Amino acid sequence: MELRCAVQKYAWGKTGKSSLVAQLAQGNSTAPIVEDDPYAELWMGTHPSGPSVIKSSNEPLLNHLLSNVDSLGDEEKKVFGTDLPFLFKALSVAKALSIQAHPNKKHAEELFATRPDLYKDPNHKPEMVTAWLGPFEALCGFRPVADIKFFLQEIDELAAVVGKSACEALVKAESDSEETQALRECFSALMNTSEESVASGLKQFEQRIPSLSAEKKDALQCDLFTRIATNFPGDVGCWSVYFMNYVVLQEGESMFLGPNVPHAYIFGDCLECMACSDNVVRAGLTPKFKDIDTLCSMLDYQAGPVDRFRMQWSTVDEFCQTCSPPVPDFGMARLRLPASATVDKAYGLPVRSNASILLILQGQATSAETKEDLSFGQVLFLKAGQQLTVQVKGEQDLIVYQAFANV
């Protein structure tokens, strides 16, 4: 079944046809692209904040699942009930998203029970991000403590905002436990500093940057800092550059972000798959509500290089790969069929025991089962056990990403 999917026009999205999301939306619906509008996210799934509908009937996908429970796999239903456990997205990021983290399942239930106006569902939100169409920039997890110490010693304005006692505690920390506690105190002190002090420190550092040598600017990642500070003047989240790892994912590379991992996407296009939730605890780079106390208390303060978040894809055959994050809510597969496969060759996607959603990211093909053409931007729902066999058309390789429950 082909789906029509919701577009989210958040302010940080790329505008008009420059946005991958807008391009996908054009292939997914008849609505015209508005060039001045931001097209931030395409949601594929059943989440009530952006539910997909079946193209042929306009019926919400969730309603279809509730009346056709055989569409879901037996293990999927046993673990998750009669709804899809995952939410599949495409993102087009023009400027940084908020400094944020997602609660674990127990914490999400507590937040939903006590503050449903802010936290809209009781589910956790582990997620996997995969770069598409060029480099994708993000901040992710706390840097190695040695790096943070270096920045605190080199950037007087940052040290002043954090405070002398917190900085000294981190510099003097020796054991892993001492470093973790000192890092918690430093980051919490930063986030709880008055807006006036934060803005003053940022302005002073921005004014000092032009006088630094090229080597020093590079060492202090001034280009990255300036880009973010330009979009979010006076925001405490600008200082997060010096606490969190900066990572650039190349096309096809992936990261997994578990509960309580601080992160912020900065620029680029990506695909995301996550548990079916929209719970976000924010504390910077956003005009939305900043729940600083909750964020600082819940964060994973384990420090280290960003490679610990990277995910590896496994080869199924010459055309297909899969990736299995350490959660049952979702897994992913991707298919790349070369245009040269058009000559008397059809490819059957591996049959899944659970329901799945497919997004066509490039190329054209014909379905052997329905004889219908498939093309860029189309989103398909396959019920558990359903076969899809495709034959490439045209001169482009066919690229498809697929999301499904990982049970």
The listed CATH number (2.60.40.10, 2.40.110.10, 3.40.50.720, 2.60.120.10) that belongs to domain 314-404: 2.60.120.10
The tens digit of pLDDT for each residue in 79-131 reads 999 999 999 999 999 999 999 999 999 999 999 999 998 898 899 999 999 99
Q: What is the pTM of this model?
A: 0.95
> What pLDDT does 308 receive?
96
Which helix (DSSP H) or strand (DSSP E) does residue 27 occupy?
Answer: helix 20-28
Same fold, 2-140+248-287 and 314-404: yes
The tens digit of pLDDT for each residue in 346-401 reads 899 999 999 999 999 999 999 999 999 999 999 999 999 999 999 999 889 999 99
Domain 2-140+248-287 sits in CATH at 2.60.120.10
Binding-site members for Zn(2+) are 100, 102, 127, 263
Three-state DSSP class for residue 17: helix
- Whether residue 61 contacts residue 381, with contact meaning beta carbons closer than 8 Å, is answered with yes
Residue 134 has pLDDT above 90, yes or no: no
The tens digit of pLDDT for each residue in 260-283 reads 999 999 999 999 999 999 889 999
Three-state DSSP class for residue 132: strand
Residue 343 has pLDDT above 80, yes or no: no
Which tokens hold the place of 219?
Answer: 């060492």
Q: Where are the domains of the chain?
A: 2-140+248-287, 145-239, 314-404
List residues with catalytic annotation: 282
Binding-site members are 100, 102, 127, 263
Share the mean pLDDT of the chain: 95
The tens digit of pLDDT for each residue in 280-326 reads 999 999 988 899 999 999 999 999 999 999 999 999 999 999 999 99
Fold of 145-239: Phosphomannose Isomerase; domain 2 (1.10.441)
Q: What is the C-alpha to C-alpha distance for residues 56 and 36, in angstroms, rounded to an integer?
A: 30
Q: What is the C-alpha to C-alpha distance for residues 118 and 123, in angstroms, rounded to an integer?
A: 13
